[in-house]
Amino acid sequence: MLIIDDEESICFSMKEYFSLHGFRVDAASDLEEAEKLIEAGDYTIVIQDLRLTTMRKSDGLDIIKLIRNHNCQTKIIVLTAYGSAEMEIEAIRRGADVFLLKPKPLSQVAQVIQGLLESPPKALST
C-alpha cells in the first residue's frame, strides 16, 4: 500500500493502522517521492490526497495517471478535503476507483479497501 499525503499526522496514523492490519505500507509526502515509489514498486492499493503543499491541484490528478500507466490493476482511493462533484468526476475519469472526502474514519477506509480487494480486476484495455 502507498499513502500519498503531505500531512505527517495522516501518513503516520494511516501507516500505523494499516500496518497493524497486515499491509506493507509506504508513504510519500510530496510529488517527487510519490513518483519514485510508484516507479520502483507495484502497489495493490494507493490512497492519495489531491493536494500536496508542493503541488497544484491538477498534479493530484496526474498522480492517478502515473499510477494507471505503471500498473492498471492498482486500486486507487482519492481521500481529499478539497473535493467537488467536478473533481470527483475527473478523478474517476482518470482512473481513480473511489473518491472519499476527509475526514473519514480509518475503519471506513478499511471497509472500502476490503471491497476493492474483493472486486474483480479491471479489464486490460487494448
Predicted pLDDT at 126? 41
pTM of the model: 0.89
Q: Which residues of 64-100 are buried (b: 16+ CB within 10 A; e: fewer)?
A: bebbbeeeeebbbbbbbeebeeebbebbeebbbbbbb
Instruction: Calculate the average pLDDT of the chain.
Output: 88
Position 86, amino acid: E
Instruction: Output the nine-digit C-alpha cell for 39.
Output: 516507479
Spell out the domain ranges in the chain.
Answer: 2-118
Contact 75, 115 (CB under 8 A): no
What is the average pLDDT across 106-115?
Answer: 96
- Grid coordinates standing for 60? 493530484
Q: What are phi and psi of 4, to 5 degrees?
A: -120, 105
The listed CATH number (1.10.3470.10, 3.40.50.10320, 3.40.50.300, 3.40.50.2300) that belongs to domain 2-118: 3.40.50.2300
Please give the pLDDT value at position 24. Answer: 96
Q: Which three cell numbers stand for residue 31?
A: 510529488
What pLDDT score does 55 carry? 52
> Rounded distance, CA 60 to CA 52, Å?
8
Cα separation, 116 vs 45, whole angstroms: 9
pLDDT value of position 19? 97
Whether 119 shows a pLDDT value over 50: the answer reads yes
Residue 94 has pLDDT above 80, yes or no: yes
pLDDT in tens, 29-88: 888 899 999 999 899 999 999 887 655 555 778 889 899 999 889 999 999 988 889 999
